[in-house]
Amino acid sequence: MAKLLTILCLGDIIGEGGRSAIAAKLTALKAAYTVDFTIANGENAAGGFGITRDVANELFTVGIDAITSGNHIWKSKDVFAMIAEEKRLLRPFNYPEGAPGNGFTVFTVGEYKIGVLNLLGRTFMDPVDCPFRRGAHAVRLIQRETNIIIVDFHAEATAEKQALGYHLDGTVSAVVGTHTHVQTADEHILPKGTAYMSDLGMCGGEFSIIGMKKDPALKRFLTYLPHKFEVEREQPMINGCVIRIDADTGRAAGIERVLVRHGQ
């Protein structure tokens, strides 16, 4: 029987609360699912916006193998100094030509190779290069090395995410979404064998407005005056999914939602 590879994918890590939940629980979570490789979106890991060298290293140390990102990737100056040489930290592949860093990396895990590709949506977001065409191009490049490919599509609109899922169906092992910070319940395997989930959710305070303290965020909507966002550190949950992949074919054998609440 073919080896099944188990990949854990975690939604956007929101500041210190999300990081503390991961530091406390990741080892047990990986053991419970016999995880071979862990990917997390780190675009909000430093103070709620962006990521720094120290925070990235902290996440690698606690057991994350690959960090994907999104529209907040350029927030910290630190990133520009590290992203070219730190291949475990990805920025979306479809930023215009000339952006520093890597949009995909092929990782060696034992005798297997796992490609991780990061793409950014355009609907209700900045008009970066086409994620469909650039995404398919990146997949062809990765396929020279492996057919085990995980795509983190960091996008706002569910329709755009579903469309990319079908666009890449049968060419990658999984398309999972990030960015909305709200977990969707639509994990399934597409007709040609690609695992799909519109949004992994977030690793951050459960009783928040997409990871930020609810009072300032609510005041913004009530007053339309500037109120500073603050990360909600209390009661952080872990959101993501576990994907099982046939290592011979790269096809998904299963996808399961992961939600670990504070106190669980």
| Segment contacting Fe ion by CB under 5 A, of 18-26, 50-58, 71-79, 182-190 | 71-79
Minimal distance, residue 252 CB to Fe ion, in Å: 24
- Residue 236 found at the interface with Fe ion (CB under 5 A): no
Q: Is 181 a residue of the active site?
A: no
Structure tokens, 24: 């406390």
Structure tokens, 40: 């997390």
Task: Identify the CA nearest to 74 among candidates 21, 139, 126, 131.
Answer: 126
**C-alpha span between 188 and 38 (Å, rounded):** 19
Structure tokens, 160: 């755009």
In terms of DSSP bridges, do strands 202-205 and 236-246 run parallel, antiparallel, or are they unpaired?
A: antiparallel
Which listed residue (72, 154, 179, 181) is catalytic? Answer: 72
The answer to whether the beta carbons of residues 141 and 147 sit under 8 Å apart is no
Query: Exactly one of 9, 12, 36, 233 binds Fe ion (CB under 5 A); which one?
Result: 12
- Residue 44 found at the interface with Fe ion (CB under 5 A): yes
Give residues 130-169 in contact with Fe ion (rule: CB under 5 A). none
Nearest residue (CB) to Fe ion, 43 versus 65: 43
Tokens 């096809």 belong to residue = 251
- Residue 75 found at the interface with Fe ion (CB under 5 A): no
Minimal distance, residue 180 CB to Fe ion, in Å: 8
* Residues designated catalytic: 72
- Which chain residues interact with Fe ion by CB under 5 A? 12, 43-44, 70-71, 179
